């Protein structure tokens, strides 16, 4: 079984998506992201599942003056009230002869980035509580050095964004945070980027399996990837190539090696010969 993809930071393919984009749209978005990296405003990143919202956050982090500080991700899906209270509410602790207040998630991201992954999937009644607790915690523990307060990044699914935008919760978020907003388009709206992404992911697969050094992709399989609508976006493309690499035994990925949704032909024969 292929291991989880892990890359050394000095390997050329480790700088994911810094240079692979061909579409003018994504080139413009990443150029603006570099400029936003120099600020400290909270950032809301909107996009479909799999478009690379977390990668965008890490890209900004890597190009900011916080790059050597933590990037702490808090996963918001399925959290309950106890979960967010544990992470964001103040806790009183006795340290020696002193009583101190601690904020778990905020302190883990001190000086760096606090990324709220899939923030739009939590109940609205929790959203404003989390933001208020974040702000209060920063004021409490970094009141003498606000530069150590973590910069806040919030991930919002595009469908949830469309529902939220007319609600009072969205207006309250804007009022509380005064955030920068980045919209990441789905892969089907920027097909020019698909060949570069395929090349990048193939490099990474080869790098992690030495015996797959000659892994390639056929013209027909490339065409199938270019014409597929990719409801799962970049993440789905990456997984499709990984499956293709496994089924081709690390040789040449053909159309029949791609997931069934990309291949109109059945992978087996029906009925009798």
* Calpha distance 155→157 (Å, rounded): 7
The domains of the chain, with CATH numbers, are: 24-186 (3.40.50.300), 190-262 (1.10.8.60)
Look up residue 179 and give its DSSP letter: -
Report pTM: 0.82
CA dihedral in degrees (205, 209, 210, 212; nearest 10)? -60
* Calpha distance 172→126 (Å, rounded): 13
C-beta separation of 202 from 244 below 8 A = no
Matching residue, tokens 């600020």? 39
Burial of 95 (0-12, 13-18, 19+ CB in 10 A): exposed
C-beta separation of 154 from 75 below 8 A = no
Query: What's the gap between Cα 169 and its chain centre?
Result: 23
pLDDT of 42-101, one tens digit each?
999 999 999 999 999 999 999 999 999 999 999 998 888 888 888 888 776 666 666 667
pLDDT of 225-258, one tens digit each?
999 999 999 999 999 999 999 999 999 999 999 9
């Amino acid at each position: 079984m292929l291991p989880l993809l892990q890359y050394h930071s000095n390997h050329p393919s480790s700088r994911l998506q810094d240079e692979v984009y061909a579409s003018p749209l994504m080139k413009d978005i990443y150029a603006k992201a570099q400029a936003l990296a120099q600020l400290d405003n909270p950032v809301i990143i909107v996009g479909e599942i799999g478009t690379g919202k977390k990668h965008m956050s890490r890209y900004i982090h890597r190009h900011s003056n916080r790059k050597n500080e933590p990037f702490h991700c808090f996963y918001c899906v399925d959290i309950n009230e106890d979960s967010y209270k544990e992470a964001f509410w103040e806790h009183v602790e006795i340290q020696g002869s002193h009583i101190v207040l601690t904020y778990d998630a905020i302190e883990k991201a001190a000086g760096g980035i606090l990324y709220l992954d899939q923030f739009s999937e939590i109940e609205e009644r929790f959203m404003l509580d989390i933001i208020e607790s974040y702000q209060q915690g920063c004021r409490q523990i970094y009141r003498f050095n606000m530069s150590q307060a973590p910069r806040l990044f919030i991930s919002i699914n595009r469908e949830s964004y469309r529902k939220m935008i007319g609600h009072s919760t969205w207006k309250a978020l804007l009022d509380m945070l005064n955030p920068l907003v980045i919209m990441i388009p789905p892969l089907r709206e920027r097909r020019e980027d698909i060949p570069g992404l395929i090349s990048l992911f193939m490099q990474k697969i080869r790098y992690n399996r030495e015996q797959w050094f000659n892994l390639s992709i056929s013209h027909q399989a490339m065409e199938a990837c270019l014409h597929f609508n990719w409801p799962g976006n970049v993440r789905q493309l990456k997984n499709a190539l990984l499956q293709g690499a496994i089924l081709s035994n690390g040789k040449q990925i053909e159309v029949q090696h791609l997931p069934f949704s990309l291949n109109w032909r059945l992978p087996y024969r029906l009925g009798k010969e």
